[in-house]
């Protein structure tokens, strides 16, 4: 499936179970998992290898230094694993804290 621009991305986040608070600019569905925002490929590969019971992964907002947001500055950010009940936990950390 190729990328599609949609009028209201929040509709798709809700459809795929991504909590509103974790929203970003991109939503994808990969092998049944929702991927929200600028998630590093390494973590998507890890998710697909480990196959946890989860909705998917999210990087809320658009943190500087995340994939596609590289530049002169970067900020620490977390990749969050979204659990089936809508809660989430840190799956990976990027950048200095």
Q: Is the pTM of this model over 0.85?
A: yes
Q: What is the 8-class DSSP label of residue 84? A: T
pLDDT digits (tens, 9 = 90+) for 26-79: 898 999 999 998 899 999 999 999 999 999 999 988 765 667 667 777 888 999
Alpha carbon distance, N-terminus to C-terminus of the chain: 37
- In the chain, how many H helices and how many E strands? 2, 5
- Residue boundaries of the structural domains of the chain: 9-94
pLDDT at residue 89 in the model: 97
């Amino acid at each position: 499936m190729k990328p599609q621009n949609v009028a209201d991305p929040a509709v798709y986040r809700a459809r795929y179970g991504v909590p509103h608070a974790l929203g970003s600019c991109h939503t994808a569905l990969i092998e049944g998992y929702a991927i929200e925002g600028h998630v590093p490929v390494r973590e998507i590969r890890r998710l697909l290898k480990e196959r946890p019971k989860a909705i998917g992964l999210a990087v809320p907002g658009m943190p500087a230094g995340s994939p596609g947001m590289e530049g002169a500055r970067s900020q620490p950010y977390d990749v969050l694993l979204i659990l089936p009940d809508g809660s989430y936990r840190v799956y990976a950390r990027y950048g200095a804290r």
